[in-house]
């Protein structure tokens, strides 16, 4: 999973066949990361609808974007990521977030940018990154629903 994450962060958009257009002039993908206990969770969303969940444990979900509800959530997340592009800082530091932090990597045609906030963002609707965090959280929820992760007894 760590290698797949690294590839998502370093692959060139042209390699994936992505080009700038009016819908996505800056962003072709976005990652949202947070830690639960000692496990980092990464949601990877790309503009073609490809969506996966990676973790630093042995668990992951690949190809979740094949499901309509996940794809719909992915496109909402990416539209908000596009709007946050100008506020994000260019980065080459792809480290995982610390505990109680949420980190976003915006995959752009001209490089990767990052935004970081605390996990309190999920409960604070007036925080600048709350819309991005909540649409990313919806992607995670849809992945959980289609994969059955978190059902009783698991």
pLDDT block averages, 10 residues each, the chain of length 154: 89 93 95 91 94 86 84 96 96 93 95 90 70 90 82 45
Residue 150: exposed, middle, or buried by beta-carbon count in 10 A (0-12, 13-18, 19+)? exposed
Q: Quickly tell me which residue has 């045609």 as its tokens.
A: 109
Question: Is residue 23 in a domain?
Answer: no
Cα distance from N-terminal residue to C-terminal residue, the chain: 21
- Evaluate whether residue 43 is within a structural domain: yes
116 within a domain of the structure (yes/no): yes
Q: What is the pLDDT of residue 154?
A: 41
- Per-residue model confidence (pLDDT) at position 9: 95
User: Domain residues for 94?
Assistant: 2-17+28-145
CB 42 within 8 A of CB 32: yes
Collapsing DSSP to helix, strand or coil, 136 comes out as helix
Q: Look at strands 39-46 and 51-55 and give their pairing.
A: antiparallel
Would strands 101-108 and 111-118 be described as parallel, antiparallel, or unpaired? antiparallel
Q: How many domains does the chain have?
A: 1
What does the pLDDT read at residue 131?
84
Q: How far apart are CA 24 and CA 52, in angstroms?
A: 20
> Is there a domain that residue 77 lies in?
yes
| pLDDT for res 153 | 43
Cα 105 from Cα 95, distance rounded (Å): 11
Per-residue pLDDT, 2: 83
């Amino acid at each position: 999973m760590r290698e797949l994450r690294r590839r998502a962060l370093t692959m060139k958009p042209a390699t994936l066949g992505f080009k700038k257009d009016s819908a996505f002039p800056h962003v072709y993908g976005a990652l949202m990361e947070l830690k639960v206990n000692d496990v980092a969770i990464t949601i990877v969303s790309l503009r073609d609808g490809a969506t996966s969940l990676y973790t630093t444990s042995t668990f992951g979900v690949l190809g979740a974007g094949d499901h309509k509800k996940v794809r719909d959530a992915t496109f909402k997340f990416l539209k908000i990521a596009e709007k946050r592009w100008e506020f994000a800082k260019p980065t080459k530091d792809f480290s995982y977030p610390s505990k109680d932090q949420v980190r976003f990597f915006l995959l752009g045609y001209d490089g990767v940018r990052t935004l970081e906030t605390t996990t309190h963002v999920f409960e604070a609707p007036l925080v600048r990154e709350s819309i991005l965090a909540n649409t990313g959280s919806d992607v995670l929820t849809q992945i959980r629903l289609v994969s059955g992760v978190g059902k009783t007894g698991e």
